[in-house]
């Protein structure tokens, strides 16, 4: 297998190719654009400084998503996160129907919203998500079913109001 080493030029190409994926994953996890940008920068630094050997393109994308999610989890545990207020609370420019779904997704625990995001937006299979998140396929399947059920009930409650 050819291994990709992250020289400065290679890292720059990787970052350009996967910038949207990294940012969207961070934003989906943190629900805050400024924090997602910070995590994006940390992932880029990790890519350059770790000089991680990557087997192929798909492995590279999975590695980036895994690093992004882990950095988001670390960020959420930090003292800084607990003492700040999100600027994204001011959502006047987002379409009301999109805002409704975003608000309901914020109410779902991360373990469920991560699976929804990876399954529907990044179009990974349950087995691939299990590999990315380091858990079993059965667990991911269960989380996906529960996430759909939670989101459906939250959206139904929203339409009743």
Residue 109 makes CB contacts below 8 A (sequence gap 6+) with: none
- CATH number attached to the domain at 1-90: 1.10.1740
Place of tokens 């600027």: 87
Look at residues 62, 71, 76 and name the one whose alpha carbon lies nearest to residue 133: 62
* Residue ranges of domains in the chain: 1-90, 91-161
Residue 87 banded pLDDT, cuts 50, 70, 90: very low
- CATH number assigned to the domain with residue range 91-161, chosen from the 4 options 1.10.10.10, 2.170.190.11, 1.20.1440.60, 1.10.645.10: 1.10.10.10
pLDDT at residue number 128: 92
Whether the domain at 1-90 and the domain at 91-161 fall into the same CATH topology: no
Measured distance CA(39)–CA(43) in Å, rounded: 6
pLDDT at residue number 84: 55
Cβ distance 25 to 69 under 8 Å? Answer: yes
Around Cβ 73, how many Cβ atoms within 10 Å?
13
Indicate the average pLDDT of the chain.
Answer: 80
- Rounded to 10°, the helix 126-133/57-77 angle is 50
CA distances, 4 to each of 42, 46, 52, 88 (Å) = 20, 15, 8, 37
């Amino acid at each position: 297998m050819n291994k990709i080493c992250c020289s400065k030029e290679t890292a720059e190409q990787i970052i350009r190719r996967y910038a949207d994926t990294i940012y969207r994953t961070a934003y989906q996890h943190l629900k805050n654009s400024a924090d997602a940008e910070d995590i994006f920068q940390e992932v880029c630094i990790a890519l350059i400084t770790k000089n991680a050997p990557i087997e192929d393109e798909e492995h590279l994308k999975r590695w980036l998503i895994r690093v992004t999610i882990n950095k988001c989890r670390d960020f959420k545990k930090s003292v800084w996160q607990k003492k700040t207020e999100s600027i994204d609370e001011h959502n006047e420019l987002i379409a009301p129907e999109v805002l409704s779904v975003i608000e309901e997704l914020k109410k779902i625990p991360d373990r469920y919203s991560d699976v929804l995001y990876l399954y529907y937006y990044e179009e990974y299979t349950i087995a691939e998500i299990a590999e990315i998140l380091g858990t079993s396929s059965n667990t991911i399947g269960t989380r996906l079913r529960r996430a759909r059920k939670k989101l459906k009930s939250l959206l139904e409650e929203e339409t009743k109001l």
